[in-house]
Amino acid sequence: MLVKIHGYRLSKCQSGLTLIELVLVMVVMSLISVPIGNYLSGSVKAFSSSKDSINGLNELRYSMTRISQEIRDVDHDGSQYQIATPGTDMTDTTFTFINTSTNNISLHYDGGQLTISDSSVGVSAFTLANQVTAFDFNYYQQDGITPAVDGSDLIFVEFEISLQENGVSFQARSRVALRDKN
């Protein structure tokens, strides 16, 4: 026998899902969703980690490029490059010099922050990188091996930056040849 409800024909034996069937469907769906949730969670963590790595690498790349450009612009007065001497500010964490525009430039590392200051724009320092764990300068003569004593025998400036972005360490080293003395 068929019963007509709102234009649909149903037999009396069709009554829908039982409570047991509904519970079984929910159990099966929850068992399927656990591995899918773990997979999606891992994907989100991988994306976040990749984003942090890209940010750290971009900060490192920008700092390396900017410092290299500044060092290439050290002025030479005919007898020596216009840099601070080793006895004063030519240290491992500070490099101070006069550029070809006669501006005093200082690159400085202090407590996790790498800054640059330029006398043409005032006394405040501009931050190149944060979360810096190490910053080091080395100065070499013409042969590239012998350490330079002052601006008269300096030809190469080598610097290294290490920084950390959310637990991931990044490190880069560059050697810059100063402009010709002429």
Give the chain's domain count. Answer: 1
Q: Is the four-CA dihedral 166, 115, 86, 181 of positive or negative sign? A: positive
Helix (H, G, I), strand (E, B) or coil at 79: coil
Q: Is residue 82 part of a domain?
A: yes
| Strands ordered across the beta sheet of 104-110 | 94-98, 104-110, 113-118, 126-129
Q: Is residue 13 part of a domain?
A: no
Q: Is residue 161 part of a domain?
A: yes
pTM: 0.71
The backbone torsions φ and ψ at residue 97, rounded to the nearest 5 degrees and listed phi first, read: -155, 170
Distance CA 177, CA 173 (A): 14
Range of the domain at 110: 47-177
Q: Is residue 55 part of a domain?
A: yes
Closest alpha carbon to 83 in 69, 97, 95: 97
Q: Is residue 118 part of a domain?
A: yes
pLDDT in tens, 115-168: 888 888 776 788 888 888 988 888 888 888 888 877 778 888 898 999 988 888
The reported pLDDT for the residue numbered 86 is: 47
Residues of the chain with pLDDT under 50: 86-89
